[in-house]
Amino acid sequence: MKKLLSLILAAMMLGSCMAGCAQNDSDSGNGSEGEDGPIKLVVYNNSGVITSTEASDPEIIQQVHDWLLEETGYDVTIITPTAEDDATELNLKLSGGDQIDLFWGDWTTYAKSGAIIPVNEYLDSKGADIVAAWPQEAWDAMTDTDGQIYGIPRSTPVSGNPLWVRTDWCEQFGMEVPSTIEEYEAYLAKVAQEKPAGEGTIPLLADINGKHNSKGLHNTFLGAFTEYGYTNWLDTETNEIKPAELQPGFKDFLETMNRWYEAGYIYPEFANLDVTTIRDLIKSGIVGSAAVWYSNLTLSMYDFQKNFPDAGYDYCREGLTGPAGLAETAAAASTTGALISARCQHPEAVVDLLNFLYDPDNYMISWYGPEGTYWKWTDQENHVYETIGEISGYHFEYCLTIGLPMEISVSGNNPQQARHQQYLSQEHTNLERVKTHFDDGVVYDQARVYEGCPTADDIDRMLAEETVKFIIGSRDLSEFDQFIEQLYDAGMQDWIDVHTQIYFEQTNG
Amino acid sequence: MKQRSLREIGRYKMLYLFLLPGLLYFIVFRFVPIAGYVLAFKDVTPFMSLEQMLTSDWVGFRHFREFFNSYYFWNVFKNTAVLAAWRLAIEFTLPILLALLLNELHSKIYKTFVQTVAYMPYFVSNVVLAGIVITLLTTNGGLVPTIMKALGGEATYLLTDPNSFRGVLLTAIGWKNIGWSSIVYVAAMSSVDPQLYEAASIDGASKLQMIFKITLPSIAFAIVIMFIMRIGVIMNEGWEETLLLYSEPVYSVSDILDTYVYRSAMTGSMRYSYATAVGLFKCILGLILVTASNVVAKRLGQNNMYS
């Protein structure tokens, strides 16, 4: 009996081990199409549209899924990122062989590694509405030197990092919304001294690894101290393209940031912040000013003003200025977009699906859920909608056409997104208050960059790491020249050479 | 001889059957993946098919050369060695100390309570551990900065301070693992003959003398085996906690081989083959460490992994 029991136990252990292996195998398979069923598409929606950490109502998700299936014939499954670092999660999934047909990322990175395919032929056959929606500069940023388009754009050059200041606190201090660095520093000093929100008051909330590659401190302030702002620039003395950190004035920027940090103006955790924390802090009413990607503010405004009805945020509409002119640097026409995986078995279907959603009527359902649940048209012809109650059971999972063209193709009264919509439609594309990227439109092919500069990762790390250390004072600014020498020791000249070469090739200089 | 072996297997078939799942685990998850190190000598991406990977060109030791020539090679190597040494010191010595303290407790109920409380952190996932650390250290109402401020100090954010990061990391890892690691020693101590203590007590030995003359020599075999086993995994463990807690300002004191591999392969440039080469380098270091400690143990006349 004992022997039998042992035998059964051993067999069970062996069985579970084998089952584990078998499960692993089946998970990694690509089952994109049934024999006769609809085409199955899997989308990893890391486009940035999903901002809530709460789960949506499964019934509403199912309704949107079924609507898409009925209208397009595609069985679309959405994977929502579970980690703050969604790019890493995505890479793990892609390299693990998971079926992902569509995702968002930087095409120059994924094309280099063979993870994505060009979409020219699919756009020609199925993507007319998509092509029409985006301006040429956005397509240029998604196109390689051979004319291959590697994805659908996500953004155009926009002003994304204004300095948001508490208007009610300005009023309380008898100040205007600051328009210069000096005025702003006076505001910071006042906030730090008065502590209007108590001991936890944060004079300046900034980030350094923000959404859409934004670096709050750099994008918001660097232009005030340097000629070009936070962008590569052409050193006319040597005729070389150099990174922003080598500009005259960068040290002044660091000195100012360090002074603000030492004075307790900058939130000490700025190098370690994620989007959720940033938004929670803003909603809690303790933030005096914010140098973060704009949507962290605009999408938090509803909850913030629910908590503090008389409070508000605004920024200098003419643009904050400093000794070197406009302080804010625009976000460049991005090489980030909607990309189709090389493992996708139905790329034409993916483009067809997206093209279907590049219609305001369909866009609204993908964005806010089925009509009648959380929204309804008030003027369908002109695409004006109104919301019904608070949108809480659907978090935009099926919205796959995120980006300015579709976001401004409709207008409505959703109080939850009122400030966001206002910013998008009236302020986002105003480039007069910012410095634009010097090398906008130039695409630096990552494969070539690594070929010319094998230590490019080391340089990236050094720029990021040492900059923060100078700001928080763990490295003294007297070592700034030594830092520049270290950059060259790590291969900066190779970096400059390869970027200069690519720049002049593409600008015919 | 062959027949004898088969007879032996037949005689102990139940035991061999029990061995099979474990053996399969090691074959599938430990030995088969070794073949993947071939990628260190090619230039592939994780998005290639297996055929593309296998038929791609060989690049020799290019990735190894690039790593050794990397500006941060010595920094990463030093961080790995320093953190591993600290972890070895903490996770090897403190569990023995805790086990010695537990061994001196006479109340069985109290001893069980202390043991349970000490073991519990081990079952906290690394993500939760990181969450606890971040919550404790946040300058926005965290317990530690609040106490620092109340004591007249400055409420600095310890997680981005290169001077304090290692201390925070090692404290968190120690809190999580020390209790659990002490189990082996507590078990070994329970097998020490109580008559030895009684005899020593009659002879007038102090508590400390009993610990150094009876307890520690009696569990020396366990200490040596655990030391060698710890050396074997020291290069592998602790990287998740580091990854979850570190950030750019503290890379200079926290970036270890594993986090470097992770960043190289899974973020930014996704240099899969390069990361595999660095991973292989780390494995070779681990193998050298285990072999060396095993040889040293043998020379000292202690039990080793194969005796």
Q: What is the pLDDT of residue B47?
A: 76
Q: Do B173 and B277 have their domain in common?
A: yes
Task: Check whether residue B23 and residue B113 sit in a common domain.
Answer: no
Last residue in a domain, options A400, A428, A454:
A400
Separation of alpha carbons A479 and B253, rounded Å: 19
Q: Per the structure, how many domains does chain B have?
A: 2
pLDDT, averaged across chain B: 89
Residue A84 pLDDT > 70: no
Question: Same domain for A295 and A150?
Answer: no
> Both B169 and B22 in a single domain?
no
Same domain (yes/no): B9, B141: no
> Domain ends where: A329, A346, A376?
A329
pLDDT reported for residue B304: 59
Over residues A345-364, mean pLDDT? 96
Strand A375-379 and strand A164-166: the pairing is unpaired
> Which residue of chain B is at minimal alpha-carbon distance from A105?
B268
pLDDT tens column, B203-224: 999 989 999 999 999 998 888 8
Q: In what order do the strands lie in the sheet with A313-314?
A: A205-206, A289-291, A164-166, A313-314
**Same domain, yes or no: B146 and B8:** no
Domain hosting A472: range is 446-507
- Over range B178-196, report the average pLDDT: 91
Residues of A in contact with B69 (CB under 8 A): 455
Provide the domain limits for residue B179. Answer: 71-299
* Model confidence band, residue B306 (pLDDT cutoffs 50, 70, 90): low
**The predicted structure's pLDDT at residue B1:** 62
The reply to whether B83 falls in a domain is yes
What is the DSSP-derived secondary structure letter of residue A113?
A: T
Nearest to B237 by CA among B117, B80, B121, B102: B80
Q: Are B15 and B97 in a shared domain?
A: no
My answer on whether B155 and B220 are in the same domain is yes
With beta carbons less than 8 A apart as the criterion, state whether A243 and A454 touch: no
Residue A436 lies in a domain: no
DSSP A323: T
| Same-domain pairing of B128 and B243 | yes
CB distance B72–A458 less than 8 Å?
A: yes
Q: Which positions in chain A touch B25 (Cβ < 8 Å)?
A: 17
Nearest Cα to Cα of residue A413 among A392, A378, A385, A382: A385
Is the Cβ pair B160, A268 closer than 8 Å? Answer: yes
Percent of chain A with pLDDT over 70: 92
Check: CB of residue B99 under 8 Å from CB of residue B218: no
Task: Answer yes or no: is pLDDT of A437 > 60.
Answer: yes
Strands, E, within B79-166: which ranges? none
Min distance A56 CA to chain B CA atoms (Å): 24
Q: Domain for residue B48, yes or no?
A: no
Report the length, in residues, of chain A.
Answer: 509
In this predicted structure, what is the pLDDT of residue A33? Answer: 46
Judged against a pLDDT cut of 70, whether residue B307 lies above it is answered with no
- pLDDT tier at B234, thresholds 50, 70, 90: confident
- The answer to whether residues A323 and A340 belong to one domain is no
Task: For residue A192, tell me if it sits in a domain.
Answer: yes
Whether the CB-CB separation of A438 and A507 falls below 8 Å is answered with: no
With a cut of 60, say whether residue A22 has pLDDT above it: no
| A133 inside domain | yes
Residue A283 shares a structural domain with residue A185: yes
Residues B158, B225: one domain?
yes
Question: What CATH number is associated with residue B202?
Answer: 1.10.3720.10
CA–CA dist B181, B187 (Å, integer): 11
List the CATH number of the domain containing A346: 3.40.190.10
In a domain, B247, yes or no: yes
Residue-wise pLDDT tens digits, A462-503: 999 999 999 999 999 999 999 999 999 999 999 999 999 999
Residue A6 lies in a domain: no
Confidence of residue A12 (pLDDT cuts 50, 70, 90): very low
Per-residue pLDDT at B44 exceeds 80 = yes
Tokens 């494969």 correspond to A447
Distance CA A253, CA B103 (A): 60
Whether pLDDT at A60 is above 60: yes
Residue B77 lies in a domain: yes
Q: Do A340 and A320 share a domain, yes or no?
A: no
pLDDT for res A391: 82
In a domain, A59, yes or no: yes
Give the distance from CA A274 to its chain's centroid.
12
Above 0.85 for ipTM, yes or no? no
Inside any domain, residue A415? no
Total of domains in chain A: 3
Are both B151 and B11 inside the same structural domain? no
Picking from A113-122, A327-336, B76-85, which range would have the lowest pLDDT averaged per residue? A327-336
| Type of residue numbered B220 | A
Give the model's confidence band at B292: pLDDT under 50 very low, under 70 low, under 90 confident, else very high. Answer: confident
Query: What is the overall mean pLDDT for chain A?
Result: 88
In a domain, A47, yes or no: yes
Q: Mind telling me how many Å the CA of A249 is from chain B's nearest CA? A: 22
- Is the alpha carbon torsion for B126, B130, B131, B133 positive or negative? positive
Residue A7 lies in a domain: no
Q: Out of A17, A489, A491, whose CB is closest to B25?
A: A17
Give the three-state DSSP class for A304.
helix
